[in-house]
Amino acid sequence: MLPTFSLQNHTILLTGAAGLFGRGLAASLAEAGATLIIASRNADKLQAVADEETARRHKVFAEGFDQGDEASIIALKARLEERFGPLHGLVNNSVLRPMKGAQGTVEQWEDSMRVNATGLMLMHRHFGSSMAEAGRGSIVNIGSIQGMIGPSYELYAGTTMGDMPPDYFFHKGGMLNLTRFYAALYGPKSVRVNCLSPGGFFNNQPELFVQRFSEHTMLGRMADENDLGGALIFLLSNASVYITGVNLPVDGGYTAK
C-alpha cells in the first residue's frame, strides 16, 4: 500500500509557495518525491525556495505568473507542458488579500475576485483540461474554515484584530462548490478535484486570540507548517484514487464543534 502514497513520477504545480502555508507544502511535496513547480508573482522569492530545496536534492523549479491574468496562466501552462508534459497535480494555494476589513472598497473586492474567483476558475479550466486529455490528474484547492463558517468575532474581542473582509468568506465558500463542479466535469476523465480547508495558522497573533482560538479547537492549538502536508500528499497521490469532490477540514476539530 505504501508506494501508492509516493509522489515519485508526479509533476505537480503548487501556487503561492513562498507564503505562510506554501513554504511547508513545498517541502512536503518535494520530500514525497514530486517534481515540483512552484509559481507566484514573485519569481525571485520563489527561486530562493527552489534553491533551498535543490540543496536538499529535491526537484523544485520556480516560475513567475499572475493568477489575475488569463494570458499569464496560459503562458505558464505552455512553458510547463513543453518542459514536463501535462501535469499530474495542481495545488491552488495562492490567495490575494486586498480587502482589509468589512468596509474595504469595491475596487479591492474586484481585485480579489479577479484573482481568487476568476483566476481560480481559469486554473481549473486551463490545467484541468490538459489533465482530462491525459486521462488522469488531481487538483487540490486550499480553502479555509472561513469558507465553511461565518466570522467568530468573539475570538478577537480586546485585540487589534477582527475586522474581517467579506471577500474572503465569499470566495473561500465558492471554492467549495467550484471543487464539486470541476470534480463532476472532469470525473469521467479520471481527474479528481478536492478541497483542503485549514484552520488558523499560528503567526504570532495576539496571545488572547491564540488562546481563544486554540481552546475552540479539539486539539488545543493552532496549525503549523507541518499540519497540511500529509493530507495534501494523500489527495495528490494514488492512495486517494477513489476520492473526489470532497472538502477535508484540517483544522484540529475547529469546525466539528
216 touches ligand NAD by CB under 6 A: no
240 touches ligand NAD by CB under 6 A: no
Strand order in the sheet with 59-64: 59-64, 35-40, 11-15, 89-92, 137-142, 191-198, 247-250
Report the residue number, 86 or 200, with the smaller CB distance to ligand NAD. Answer: 200
Residue 38 has which C-alpha cell?
512552484
> Which one among 11, 94, 217, 237 touches ligand NAD, defined by CB under 6 A?
94
CB-nearest residue to ligand NAD: 19
CB of 19 to ligand NAD, least distance (A): 2
Contact letters for ligand NAD, residues 135-154 (x by CB under 6 A): -------x-x----------
16 touches ligand NAD by CB under 6 A: yes
Burial class (CB in 10 A: 0-12, 13-18, 19+), 201: middle
Of the candidates 48, 52, 134, 147, the one whose C-alpha atom is nearest the C-alpha of residue 92 is 147
Alpha helices in the chain (DSSP H): 22-31, 43-55, 70-84, 106-113, 120-134, 166-186, 207-216, 229-236
CB 196 within 8 A of CB 148: no
Report the residue number, 46 or 183, with the smaller CB distance to ligand NAD. Answer: 46
127 touches ligand NAD by CB under 6 A: no
58 touches ligand NAD by CB under 6 A: no
Of the candidates 227, 183, 200, 179, the one whose C-alpha atom is nearest the C-alpha of residue 27 is 227
C-alpha atoms less than 13 angstroms from C-alpha of 132 in its C-beta half-sphere:
15
CB of 111 to ligand NAD, least distance (A): 9
CB of 72 to ligand NAD, least distance (A): 8
Radius of gyration of the chain measured on its C-alpha atoms: 18
> Which one among 13, 14, 22, 80 touches ligand NAD, defined by CB under 6 A?
22
User: 146 by DSSP, 3-state: which?
Assistant: helix
Of the candidates 95, 189, 110, the one whose C-alpha atom is nearest the C-alpha of residue 142 is 95
47 touches ligand NAD by CB under 6 A: no
20 touches ligand NAD by CB under 6 A: yes
Stretch that binds ligand NAD, among 14-22, 127-135, 159-167, 232-240 (CB under 6 A): 14-22
Report the residue number, 73 or 132, with the smaller CB distance to ligand NAD. Answer: 73
Q: Contact positions toward ligand NAD, by CB under 6 A? A: 15-16, 18-22, 40-42, 65-68, 93-97, 115, 142, 144, 198, 200-201
